[in-house]
Structure 1
Amino acid sequence: MQGCPSSLIGNGPVTLSEGLSLLVSEHGPLRKQLEALFSFCNQVKTTKEKETSFNDLIKEVTEFSSNLEFHSAREEDILFRMMEVYLGKEGGPIAVMEYEHEQAKGYINTFLSNAENRTQSEEEMIQNAGLIIDAYHTLLDHFMKEEQVLYPFAEKLFTAEEKELLNEKVSTKSH
């Protein structure tokens, strides 16, 4: 194949196959959870009852982390591995996507690790809430890249058989 791989995307809208549509559909609920996390972070910053808001934030981040892990594991273990056949493992869009997964999970895991210390100052609670705000921005940007670039790219790249295989694999891996 010669030329720029991004030429596969084209200018028009792309209708995604079932497996890719399923992955995209998971972004909506994750975005809603991110918006709620963002609100909790702002409460931690502004309320006098920081400890209560921070404890609520811990609970919500724990639930979100589980949902994010379910989603990202299927991307990493299935979609990205299938795309590597065409794009290679070093550099390129898959390396960027995996880096962003690591970055977001790093913010979340650092927050959860820090949250184990139940005697945090108000300043520490605010700093730790800032980690979740960093994850929020990273993930919103990441989801947009997947939806606008990566998934349409995969749609044009994969054969009908590969699309069917992707759908089987992402549909059978349960939460």
Structure 2
Amino acid sequence: MEMSSCMSGFGGTVQGELSEGLARLKSEHPPLREKMDGMYSLTQKIDQGIDMEENFHELIIKVKEFKGELDPHSEREEGVLFPMMGAYIGTTSGPIAVMEYEHDQAKSKIGAFLDQAKVGESTTDEKKKLAELVQNAYFILTDHFNKEENVLFPMAERMLSDVEKADLLQKIKEI
């Protein structure tokens, strides 16, 4: 009984080329990851109590910069890609619902950090707890990007028509 060929439709083992729009979304991940790594490194220093004020201040700056890049990336996915895929697989459960939930969770943690983090106004313990919000967002987004790159984007590549892929590219260029 040959079963392996059945799996190729569900994510398979073959990683093909991504169309320009999907490749563009994927190409936004490395610079975001680099910023996330820098933030995570600062959170570890804060957790260890190293140069607390200086590192906390730097973390606030880095999180604001990161959010400025993450927001348009998320909008391109949530506003364009997810609805296009949702027309085929739905949005209330399954992969799209999971992706949107993870976006919400990460943005919520980043937002809570920025709302509560005020330079010079927090105790050491408060700074550590606030830095933990950024760490949690880091873990969520690291896993999330991997899912998009290894499952969601290849799924979209197979699912969307050439016309839809062209439409995707045009719409994400506008955001």
Same fold (TM over 0.5): yes
Query: Given the two structures, how large is their TM-score scaled by the length of structure 1?
Result: 0.92
Alignment TM-score, normalising by the size of structure 2 = 0.92
- The root-mean-square deviation of aligned C-alpha atoms, in Å, is 1.6
Q: What aligned pairs does 1:1-175 form with structure 2 within 5 A after superposition?
A: 7-116=9-118, 118-173=120-175
Q: 2-side partners of 1:147 and 1:87: how far apart?
A: 18
Q: Work out the CA distance in 2 between the residues paired with 1:54 and 1:97.
A: 29
Q: What is the distance in 2 between the residues matched to 1:41 and 1:8?
A: 37
Greater mean deviation of Cα atoms: 4-13 or 61-70: 4-13
Asked if 2 retains the 8 angstrom alpha-carbon contact of 1:9 and 1:156, the reply is no
| RCO higher in structure (CA 8 A, sep ≥6) | 1
Contact 2:53-2:120 at 8 Å conserved across structures: no
User: Once the two structures are superposed, what CA deviation does each residue of 1:47-83 show, in whole Å capped at 9, x if it has no partner?
Assistant: 4421111011000001101111110011000000111
Contact 1:41 1:129 in 2 (8 A): yes
**Per-residue deviation, 1:5:** 9.5
Alpha-carbon offset, residue 118 of structure 1: 4.2
Structure 2 contact 43–132 (Cα < 8 Å) conserved: yes
> For 1:47 and 1:123, how far apart are their aligned partners in 2?
10
CA distance in 2, matches of 1:37, 1:110: 15
Amino acid at match of 1:122: T
Do the aligned residues in 1 keep the contact of 2:56 with 2:119 (CA within 8 Å)?
Answer: no
1:45, distance to aligned residue in structure 2 (A): 1.9
